[in-house]
Amino acid sequence: MNTIAQLPNEILLDIFERLRGETCNLVSASKTCRRWHRLASTTIYRHISLSSKLRDETRTARFAASVTQCDLVQSFDLRITQVHLMGFSILSSDAFDRLMELCDVVTSMQNMQTFTLSFEKAAGQGFTAPSATIVSLLQSLPQTVVNLNLDCECMSCPKLNQPHVCEAIGALLPRLRSLRLRTSHLCSGLLSHISPQATLDHERLEFPLGISRPTATSSLEYLSVCLVLRPESGLASHTNLCYSGHRPMQGARLSSTLLALHKAKAFPSLRQFAVIGRVDANPTPQNDNWNVFKVRSLTKHSMTTTTFPWCARGGSSSLYMLRDDKEDWFGSFDEITSALEGSLLWTKRGIRGSHVHLICSDSGWQLDTSRLASRSSVIDRFGVSFRLWKHEEAARMRLLHIRTAPGFDDTAASSQIVPDGWRWVPEGPWNWTIATA
């Protein structure tokens, strides 16, 4: 009978892959012998996730000091903590030294294909991320990186004399296969390396009609751009254009520009893109207008704008409600916006755990509700109630719907519908309700 030591490398690699969720056992196996150490290391170091801090004894510092396994890394997930961001804000040398260490480590990962950069979100008013920090890391990426997941929603407002994040992403765009981007500031630099003539002014995002073909193409297959800012942000509902004060970057214009580039063969491999934005409704005495999220999606078979009504639970709660065609869903703001990314959500699939994107079905944009709570569960747990539900129970029909429109021109919010035979009536000094006519 053969012993385990005689198993071929392929079988041992499969065993080690199945131990990925049990780090202690995998590390123990790597200490068995030199052969097992070499094989197990390919699994241990394939996907690395680290959070940056400033103490010398942190895992990030230890990993930066030991770069012998960097060639084995295929995906790297880096999270910059609030402590590190605070160091940037007070111009701490330790913060910049740690950034340089991280840049050196990223550069040494010569087989890395996927890079994820995010920033810790503070519970209250936190520290913002300098654009120079993001640019330094992006410029350190090896040529092998083809999947980029970048969450820089907390980026500080860039100045003219600072490195330009959009330009840094744009320089990578020709070789990327997938890009997931959440940002608080965006401008024409994102597309400058695809079609340099397609310039933007500081008020509008346009693709000049005289350009019939871009000067460069991108290998991009999947693109998700989230222009959503948090409700408490002082920048209102739209992402700002870089260097332009409070002039907004609207999802409809960005989607139209991407569509024009796609028609001009700038993205010959593109399978799907989605631009996610937010529209805040104008208040009415009846309070029947609802804020909405807009998902503008392009696939090989469709070009649509899907509108999802949403609102905060109210009070001091951090719960938000999002309605689709089946259910009212609840979660934190981050969970809600992640659910909106649907099939383009950065996810893991397969035994190897590699980062991939899934293709959305042609039946319409679908929310990823795996991390959201249903209406019945939050009623049972928190006693949540909305006047909308009261109205719908009385009318025995849905009065607020998601909608899907062809193209990218739908920019309106949503309103609660008053059914035939019903009317708005006052209910106390501040509220309105519906009643039979």
Indicate the pLDDT class of residue 1, thresholds 50, 70 and 90.
very low
For 108, counting Cβ atoms within 10 Å of its Cβ (0-12 exposed, 13-18 middle, 19+ buried), the class is middle
What pLDDT was estimated at residue 207?
45
Q: CA of 6: how far to CAs of 1, 12, 179, 380, in Å?
A: 10, 10, 43, 57
pLDDT per residue as tens digits for the range 44-79: 667 878 888 777 666 666 666 665 667 777 888 899
Domains by residue range for the chain, with CATH: 1-44 (1.20.1280)
pLDDT of 317 > 80? The answer is no
For 288, counting Cβ atoms within 10 Å of its Cβ (0-12 exposed, 13-18 middle, 19+ buried), the class is buried
Residue range 304-328: mean pLDDT, rounded: 86
Residue 279 near residue 228 (C-beta atoms within 8 A): no
Max CA pair span of the chain: 86
First to last CA, the chain: 86
- 344 token code pair: 């383009």
Indicate the pLDDT class of residue 287, thresholds 50, 70 and 90.
confident
Indicate the pLDDT class of residue 232, thresholds 50, 70 and 90.
low
Q: Which of 212-226, 316-330, 332-346 has the highest mean pLDDT?
A: 316-330
- 432 token code pair: 């309105």
DSSP assignments along 282-295, one per residue: PP-TT--EEEEEEE
Coil, strand or helix at 167: helix
Question: In terms of pLDDT, which residue wins out, 135 or 252?
Answer: 135
What pLDDT was estimated at residue 256?
87
**Alpha carbons within 13 A on the beta-carbon side of 40:** 20
Coil, strand or helix at 151: strand
Residue range 320-346: mean pLDDT, rounded: 86
What pLDDT was estimated at residue 251?
82
Q: CA of 220: how far to CAs of 110, 174, 194, in Å?
A: 21, 7, 11
Coil, strand or helix at 33: coil
What pLDDT was estimated at residue 21?
55
Burial 217-254 (b: 16+ CB within 10 A, else e): bbebbbbbbbbbbeeeeeeebbbbbbeeeeebbbbbbb
Listed in sequence order, the DSSP H helices in 131-221 are: 131-139, 165-172
Q: Which of 16-30, 77-91, 158-172, 308-322 has the highest mean pLDDT?
A: 77-91
pLDDT of 321 > 90? The answer is yes
Q: Residues with Cβ < 8 Å from 221, sequence gap 6 or more?
A: 177, 178, 269, 270, 271, 272, 357
- 184 token code pair: 């608080």
**H or E element that contains 105:** helix 93-108
pLDDT of 366 > 70? The answer is yes
What secondary structure letter does DSSP report for 418?
A: P
Question: In terms of pLDDT, which residue wins out, 428 or 415?
Answer: 415
Q: How many C-beta atoms lie closer than 10 Å to residue 411's C-beta?
A: 14
- In DSSP terms, which residues pair with 423 in a beta bridge? 435
Residue range 160-177: mean pLDDT, rounded: 85
pLDDT of 254 > 60? The answer is yes
What pLDDT was estimated at residue 346?
57
* Cα(224)–Cα(181) distance, integer angstroms: 6
The residue whose two tokens read 């979660």 is 331
Q: How many C-beta atoms lie closer than 10 Å to residue 71's C-beta?
A: 12
Q: How many residues does the chain have?
A: 437
* Cα(393)–Cα(46) distance, integer angstroms: 53
% of the chain exceeding 90 in pLDDT: 28
Residue range 339-348: mean pLDDT, rounded: 69
What pLDDT was estimated at residue 407?
92
% of the chain exceeding 70 in pLDDT: 70
Residue 306 near residue 340 (C-beta atoms within 8 A): no
Q: Which of 178-182, 243-247, 278-282 has the highest mean pLDDT?
A: 178-182
- 244 token code pair: 């332009």
**H or E element that contains 102:** helix 93-108
Residue range 372-387: mean pLDDT, rounded: 90
* Cα(348)–Cα(3) distance, integer angstroms: 34
Q: How many C-beta atoms lie closer than 10 Å to residue 436's C-beta?
A: 10
pLDDT per residue as tens digits for the range 255-265: 888 888 888 88
What pLDDT was estimated at residue 120?
87
* Cα(422)–Cα(390) distance, integer angstroms: 14
What pLDDT was estimated at residue 415?
93
Q: How many C-beta atoms lie closer than 10 Å to residue 381's C-beta?
A: 11
